[in-house]
Amino acid sequence: MYFLLIALLYNWYIASGDGFGQTAEIEYTKFKQQLTQGNVERIHVQGDQINGEFKSPQILNISGEDTLRSENFYTYIPSYGDNQLSAALEENDVTVSAEPESEYNWWYIALIILPILFFIYIGVMFYQRMQSQGQGFFNIGKSKAKLQQPEKQDTTFDDVAGLDNAKTELTEIIEFLKEPDRFKDIGAKLPKGLLMVGPPGTGKTLLARAAAGEADVPFFTITGSDFMEMFVGVGAKRVRDMFDKAKEASPSIIFIDELDSIGRRRGAGLGGGHDEREQTLNQLLSELDGFEPNESVVVMAATNRPDILDKALLRPGRFDRQIKVDMPKQKARLEILKIHAQDKPLQDDVDLEVIARSTPGFSGADLENLLNEASLYAGRNERKKIAMEDIDNARDKVMMGLKREGLQIDDKEREVLAYHEAGHALVAAILPHSDPIHKVTIIPRGKAMGATQQLPEKEKYLYNREYLLDRLAVIMGGRAAEDLIFETSTSGAQDDLKQVAKLSRKMVLEWGMSEKYKHISFGSAEEEVFLGRDMSRQREYSDSTARDIDEEVQKISREAFERAFSTIKENRDVLEKVAELLLDKEEIPGEEVDKLLNEKKQNTQEEKQKDEE
Ligand code: ADP
Ligand code: MG
Ligand code: ZN
């Protein structure tokens, strides 16, 4: 681009000559000729260049080919000089003007100007980008917090399902914001900072909006990551700005979403501190401290990582009130589904209760997404209403990812897959403490080539040892089936093995469930490595204990495999039937597995009776 500009500039200079287009270079001889013929009106001398004007226009030759009729010309005095020139000029009454030879060479100027132009160009691009992001260049540092007038905030608690505890906590503050004077008169002080803590998608942002809607006060919201600008000091200015505005508009609510992105522990983490973030955080802290107790501004914040927040944020007088926003349990899931199903037509066979039961681990956002995906499926199937089938499909997609249609699996691999899943299913169906099977499938989805879905009859808050041991065996069931039928192992059990390792480690280290170290905890089984925390944590036990622990973990895993193996070995005939069914239908409901098992039980009983007869 640089070179192009230089070329353009050069061309422009050449072409323009003396300002108007009708100028051409002529030979010095021709100039002298015209001069002696008395046809030169005036000349202007600059260095060795002569620009001039003829009395009557002349046909001028430019670069040999093009001809031009013009009265303007320029030419150069030869370097050896022409000492008769001035006499000839005077003789012919030519008006002469002159200026000193230009000190600047055009090229020289171009080289200076071009970089400047280039920077202006970059600046303009930058400006336009800032503009298009909805914040003017000159507004850097102005608060990005949007002032939302009360009438705009129409979210209320009715839009938030479950979260009853959180709502109760907020009610008090809402009352205060509605009638600050009544509370002030009796000497009540408003809690300053309120921190909502919970996993993503559980409705923290929603709850904050609803609080503002309920209180009917201005709501200033900003996301932590908005503060992260490229210029040091901007974030801090924004914070100051937002607090000023909110105070002016009080009673009001300030909501800082994703607080962890500014509130991360200072001076910690990989790669050293982050100046900008620390300044912003310091500003936030000082704003929180600088509040007068009689100012009716509530600062709410949300995070899903309270563990990495700077301790200073949680001190009394700052975010000292925490509201826990939990993953929804079955009842709350039902309520969330009801809210989001309001504007969606459902077929009669859709039972929200069943969906709520079959979606443990789904957040509010997941459930909303589930219904949305279901309506997309319904649309694709040209249905006017959402059917249960659509919801089932959507659930698989939300849980496991998209179906991988184009995947070419050869027959042998499909067979291994079928036996693997049949192994999981059979162990789950037989062991007494395991969750019932929802369905078994060998349709590849997302990362998984197949899956055995289990659904707890009711949500568990505690896991006992028997349940966990059965669970481990179920996870090992896939591998065990491969071993029994094909007498080999495949890489397909990778995730299973990972899960087993994780769970058995937790049992030994955290839950005191090993034989050797019953009822003893060794701290966390998970290696938490994240930015902002000490990289290595001290282990709290000796090397020999560590070796024992490893042994216990291995023992639990090994025994899980052996249980799974012997379970399916005893029922090899059923395993084969389940696998064949899977190969045939690709996906079977859990009841089918139970049915096959029951058939076998009946058969053996009949045989026994016959034997006894
Ligand atoms: P968070 O801020 O906790 O990550 P959000 O408040 O952004 O979660 O929730 C995302 C969406 O999920 C919300 O807009 C809402 O539609 C839905 N949602 C989440 N929790 C609930 C809930 N308890 N009741 C109703 N809808 C919910
Ligand atoms: Mg949020
Ligand atoms: Zn498996």
User: Residue 487: what residue type?
Assistant: E
What the block records as the tokens of 210 is 């609803």
Helix or strand or coil: residue 198?
A: coil
The pLDDT of residue 20? 42
Calculate how far, in angstroms, residue 450's C-alpha sits from the geometric centre of ligand 3. Answer: 8
pLDDT exceeds 90 at position 566: yes
Q: With contact defined as beta carbons under 8 Å apart, do 492 and 478 qualify?
A: yes
Q: Which residue has a Cα nearest atom 6 of ligand 1?
A: 203
The pLDDT of residue 9: 46
pLDDT-derived band at 228, boundaries 50, 70, 90: low
Residue nearest (by alpha carbon) to ligand 1 atom 11: 365
Residues 586-601 pLDDT 10s: 999 999 999 999 998 8
Question: Class for domain 330-399, per CATH?
Answer: mainly alpha
CATH of the domain spanning 2-103 = 3.30.720.210
Instruction: For residue 267, report the distance from its CA to the centre of ligand 2, in Å.
Output: 26
| Residue 339 Cα: closest atom of ligand 1 | 25
Report d(CA 386, CA 376) in Å as an integer. 9
CB 488 within 8 A of CB 582: no
Q: What is the CATH number of domain 411-604?
A: 1.20.58.760
In 3D space, the residue among 364, 367, 386 whose CA is nearest the CA of residue 377 turns out to be: 386
What is the token pair recorded at 222? 């900003």
**Bigger pLDDT: 143 vs 320:** 320
Residue 149: pLDDT band by 50, 70, 90 thresholds?
very low
User: Under 8 Å CB-to-CB from 161, ≥6 apart: which residues?
Assistant: 328, 332, 335, 336, 338, 339, 364
The model's pLDDT over 131-143, given as tens digits with 9 standing for 90+, comes to 544 444 444 445 5
How distant, in Å, are the alpha carbons of 351, 437, 534, 598 from that of 591?
19, 8, 50, 10
Nearest CA residue ID for atom 12, ligand 1: 365
Supply the pLDDT for residue 270.
47
DSSP 8-state assignment for residue 448: B
pLDDT over 70 for what percent of the chain?
84
Q: How many angstroms does the Cα of residue 257 sit away from the middle of ligand 2?
A: 6
Which range has highest mean pLDDT (64-73, 147-156, 338-347)? 338-347
Choice between 111 and 303, residue whose per-residue pLDDT is larger: 303
Residue 23 backbone phi and psi in degrees, to 5: -120, 140
Mean pLDDT of the chain: 82
Ligand nearest to the CA of 422: 3
Q: What percent of the chain has pLDDT over 90?
A: 26
Pairwise pLDDT comparison (90 vs 1), residue with the higher score:
90
For ligand 2, the distance from its centroid to the CA atom of residue 341, given in whole angstroms, is 21
439-467 b/e with 16+ CB inside 10 Å = b? bbbbbbbeebbbbbbbbeeeeeeeeeeeb
CB-CB contact of 191 with 320 (8 Å): yes
Instruction: Read off the pLDDT of each residue in 230-236 and give the average, rounded to a whole number.
Output: 67
Closest-approaching ligand to the CA atom of 424? 3
* Protein residue closest via CA to atom 14 of ligand 1: 206
What's the confidence (pLDDT) of residue 473? 96
Q: Where are the domains of the chain?
A: 2-103, 107-139, 146-324, 330-399, 411-604
Per-residue tokens: 13? 């200079």
**Which residues belong to the active site?**
421
Does residue 146 surpass a pLDDT of 70? no
SS3 assignment for 29-72: HHHHHHHHCCCEEEEEEECCEEEEEEEEEEEEEECCCEEEEEEE
Pocket lining for ligand 1, CB < 6 angstroms: 160-163, 198, 200-206, 302, 336, 339, 364-365, 368
Range in 269-278, 436-445, 468-477 the model is least confident about = 269-278
> What b/e readout covers 139-159, taking b as 16+ CB neighbours within 10 angstroms?
ebbebbbebbeeeebebebee
Range picked from 16-20, 264-268, 344-348, 536-540 for highest mean pLDDT: 344-348
Residue 417 tokens read as 């897959």
Query: pLDDT tens digit string along 101-129?
Result: 666 667 777 888 888 888 888 887 776 66
Tell which CATH classification among 3.40.50.2300, 3.30.2350.10, 3.40.50.300, 3.40.50.2000 matches the domain 146-324: 3.40.50.300
Q: 232: pLDDT confidence band, cut at 50, 70 and 90? A: low
- Kindly list the protein residues that place their beta carbon closer than 5 angstroms to ligand 2, a single-atom ion: 205
What pLDDT is attached to residue 577?
A: 95
pLDDT at 11: 43
Q: Identify the burial level of 28 via C-beta atoms within 10 angstroms of its C-beta, where 0-12 means exposed, 13-18 middle and 19 or more buried.
A: middle
pLDDT over threshold 70, residue 570: yes
- Residue 386, pLDDT > 60, answer yes
